[in-house]
Chain A
Amino acid sequence: MSLNQNTARAASRALAGAGEPDHGNKAPKVGVFQRRKGATQENPAVNVILTIILSLGAVIMAAPLVWMVSTSLKTKDGVYALPPEWIPDPFVWDNYVRVFQDTYVLSGIKNSLIVAISVTVVGTVFSSLAAFALAKLRLPGKNVIFIALLSGMMVPFPTLMIPQFIMFSRIGWVDTLLPLIIPVILGNVIMIFFLRQYLHNVPDSLVEAAKIDGASYLKIFWTMILPLMRPAIAAQFILWFMAVWNDYLAPIIYLNTPEKQTLQVVIANMNVQYATQRDYPLIMTASVISVVPILIVFLIFQRQIIESIALTGSKT
């Protein structure tokens, strides 16, 4: 066994090449004790094979997105080139000018921002206040309230969309952004759930002490609870923002006028409209524009987002 491992390590060193000097070197020289320790040690050959498989997978994951960006820089005819052109020839930056001049992408961005920012900012305040009350304040029956709120997560939006639509059409809110904002701005059950869970790690005595010191509940929330919750809030906030930004079903129900539509609806409609004109580069340009802002946010806050998602799994 130790011989096999030895050859494998040598092979991996050879495969890894000069570009990766410390690959496989971490293991100390194979000695008498090596075999016992080797039981939990990773086989470098397996790691090399896995790296190759992961790389192939990464190509499959990235190719469509790379192609989207590449197409956004092509001419109309360049799209149909066979074999496909990965590097556009010529580069057509004009698509990015046209997409703002000739389409509703700009108003789409504006509307999406209005919805996403108002919902997440105000909604986060409501959610964290509720989480504070549910976790740390006394109220008879508050657990019943919590369970009731949680039950809302079980009801799929499509089941509610028709009556909600009727409600909003009665008060004349169809074709405005309000039906997208009002029902969600009042608080996000998922966020409440996680923040409440997070606050369970904060000792009750801390809150009690502040109360004895005569601090008001708002003050306790603002100066003590909110700063404590900040990392959890940040992560949930980003996830929520992305969900609202990417939403499609609710906006498509309410928004008819092109300049009132959110970005996702705008690009979906462009897909129908410009496909008949075979203007794929323009459609792809709009798609790139809808993906890029979120991508940048993700890359900046990657660590927090990933931690928060990992938390999602561990809290179940």
Chain B
Amino acid sequence: MATTAPPAETTTWSKEDAKAAKKRSRRMHRKEHGWAAAFMAAPVLGWVAFLLFPMGFSIYASLTNWNGIGKMTFIGFDNYVLLVKDPYFWKALWNTVFYMIGIPIGLAISLALALALSRKIRGRTFFRTVYYIPVISSLAAIAILWQWAYNGDFGLVNQALALVGIDGPNWLADSTWAKPAIIIMAVWKGMGYSMLLYLAAVQAVPRSLYEAASLDGANGWKKFTKITWPMVQPVTFFLVVTNIIGGSMIFTEINIMTPTGGPEWSTASLVWYIWNKAFRNLQMGYATAMALVLGILVLIVTAIQFRINRANEFSID
């Protein structure tokens, strides 16, 4: 990682020599150190002021009963006890996890699209652009658009379903269909991004691998499972990690499409609930506790994924 580290010529020296040399080099490079520190100052300052400090403050605030303005009353772990007993917290957590069903679905479609677009198909650039446009569109605008598209009587979705003879539900007003509705929209919006990443990965697979496999008589499916899938695995890993982190923060579409948390609270996500508790009900202490739990959950899930990924790692030269 550290390419600027001096080469390991210290091996022939004694420890004292090495120490002295280090000191000498430190003195010699003092000016450089100063500039390097200055160049890094802004992000480091931002890190301390807007990450480290708020984190510390959060930990304390989560142990208090506090409305954000008045006095903070220390109540120990009461907020966390409350949280464990709060059915809304569990419901919101369940909803948030449920939304993640969209991740494997989206990735499967994206990979299929990438495989299709890696072939010599006319209008590849056109398709690529069309599939990517929802990604760059603002989520707020897209959520508004889909909220209307899901309208039971006049919405675009049910109009389209009627063409094939399906009588669609009143999506967002139906506690069974509200979550799937949001998942479909999220898949539609995010697909283009995963597709582009997969496309780059698929195109980077050496052709010789496929040729060798063909000579050995491998069929298309075999080639996919034994060559393509392992070769795009780093991208899959990256996408799963970022999608889970992103998915755990799902808020905008929930708040715009179902401002009250959906029928029977069926769409409320964890971040939506935290936001409500903090900025509508002014239960800052409790909301902070939930936010910390969210952060820790994300951290644990990410760590597990890295662990699994390391076990699956391989390399080809």
Cβ of B188 and Cβ of A60 under 8 Å apart?
yes
Q: Across the interface, do A186 and B140 meet the contact criterion of CB distance under 8 Å?
A: no
Measured CB to CB, the closest approach of chain B to A8, in angstroms, equals 14
Query: Which residues of A are found within 8 Å of B131, using beta-carbon distances?
Result: 57-58, 61
Report the stretch among B9-17, B119-127, B168-176 that lies at the interface.
Answer: B119-127
* Contact among B58, B145, B252 with A160 in the assembled complex (CB-CB below 8 Å): B58
The answer to whether the Cβ of B103 comes within 8 Å of any Cβ in the partner chain is no
A217 touches B44 (CB 8 A): no
Are the C-beta atoms of B141 and A291 separated by less than 8 Å?
Answer: yes
A226: Cβ under 8 A from any B Cβ: no
- Residues of A near B207 (CB, < 8 A) are 40
Contact with B along A272-316 (1 / 0, CB 8 A): 100000001001101110110011001100100010011011101
Chain A residues with CB under 8 A of B113: 54, 57
Q: For residue B245, which residues in chain A have a CB less than 8 angstroms away from its CB?
A: 154, 156
If over half of B's interface residues share one DSSP class (helix, strand or loop), that class is named, otherwise mixed; here it is: helix
Q: Does B178 contact A (CB under 8 A)?
A: no
A2 to chain B, nearest CB (A): 15
Evaluate contact between A316 and B234: CB separation under 8 angstroms.
Answer: yes
A310 closest partner in B (C-beta): B200
Contacts of B156 in A (CB 8 A): 63-64, 67, 84
Q: Which of A94-102, A227-235, A243-251 contacts B (4 or more CB under 8 A)?
A: A243-251
A interface residue count range (under 10 / 10 to 19 / 20 to 34 / 35 or more): 35 or more
Are A246 and B47 interface neighbours, CB within 8 A? no
**Per a CB cutoff under 8 Å, which of B134, B248, B256 touches A268?**
B256
Distance between A100 CB and nearest chain B CB, rounded to angstroms: 17
Q: Which residue of B lies closest to A298 (CB)?
A: B136
Give the size category of B's interface with A: 35 or more
Q: How far is A303 from B134 in the complex, measured between Cα atoms in Å?
A: 17
A1 at the interface (CB under 8 A from B): no
Contact B61 A158 (CB under 8 A): no
Within the complex, which residue of A189, A221, A265 is in contact with B43, where a contact is CB–CB below 8 Å? Answer: A189
Given contacts A65-B133, A287-B145, A291-B137, contact A306 B36 (CB under 8 A): no
Interface residues of A in 123-171 (CB under 8 A from B): 126-127, 129-130, 132-140, 142-143, 145, 148-149, 152, 154-167, 169
With known contacts A51-B122, A130-B39, A294–B134 Cβ distance under 8 A: no
Interface residues of A in 159-209 (CB under 8 A from B): 159-167, 169, 183-184, 186-187, 189, 192, 200, 204
Q: How far is the CB of A283 from chain B (nearest CB, A)?
A: 6
Interface string of A66-103 (1 = CB under 8 A from B): 01100000000001101110000000000000000000
Question: Is B268 part of the contact surface with A, judged by Cβ < 8 Å?
Answer: no
A136 to B40 Cα, complex, angstroms: 12
Within the complex, the shortest CB–CB distance from A138 to chain B, in Å, comes to 5
Question: Which chain B residues lie closer than 8 Å to A213 at the CB level?
Answer: none
A135 to B274, CA, bound (A): 39
Contact B196 A284 (CB under 8 A): no
Whether A253 sits at the interface, judged by CB under 8 Å, is yes
B130: contacting residue among A58, A186, A310, CB under 8 A: A58
Whether A67 touches B68, Cβ cut-off 8 Å, given contacts A57-B131, A267-B140, is no
Please encode chain B, from 99 to 129, with 1 for each CB lying within 8 Å of some chain A CB and 0 for all others. 0000000000000010011011111001111
Which of A61, A221, A249, A264 meets B251, CB within 8 Å? A249
Residues on B with C-beta less than 8 A from A155 are: 51, 55, 295
Chain A, residue nearest B198 (CB): A313
Once A54-B116, A137-B4 are accepted as A-B contacts, the answer to whether A145 and B127 lie under 8 Å apart by CB is no
Known A187-B46, A248-B139: A156·B295 in contact at CB below 8 Å: yes
Complex Cα–Cα for A268 and B156 (A): 20
**Cross-interface CB contact of A65 among B117, B127, B134, B201, cutoff 8 Å:** B134
In the complex, the answer to whether B121 meets A51 with C-beta atoms within 8 Å is yes
Q: Tell me whether A137 and B237 are in contact (CB under 8 A).
A: no
**Which A residue's beta carbon lies closest to that of B112?**
A53
**A217 — which chain B residues lie within 8 A by C-beta?**
32, 35, 39
Known pairs A54-B113, A61-B188, A137-B4; list 11 more (Cβ under 8 Å): A57-B131, A84-B159, A154-B302, A158-B275, A160-B54, A164-B50, A217-B39, A264-B140, A267-B141, A271-B256, A312-B197
A-B residue pairs, 3 tightest by C-beta: A186-B46, A187-B43, A310-B200
Q: List 30 A-B contacts (CB under 8 A).
A: A54-B116, A54-B121, A57-B127, A60-B188, A62-B133, A63-B156, A64-B149, A82-B154, A139-B32, A139-B33, A158-B291, A159-B292, A160-B55, A161-B278, A162-B274, A162-B284, A162-B288, A166-B284, A167-B57, A187-B42, A192-B43, A204-B4, A246-B137, A253-B275, A264-B140, A284-B144, A287-B145, A290-B140, A313-B201, A316-B238
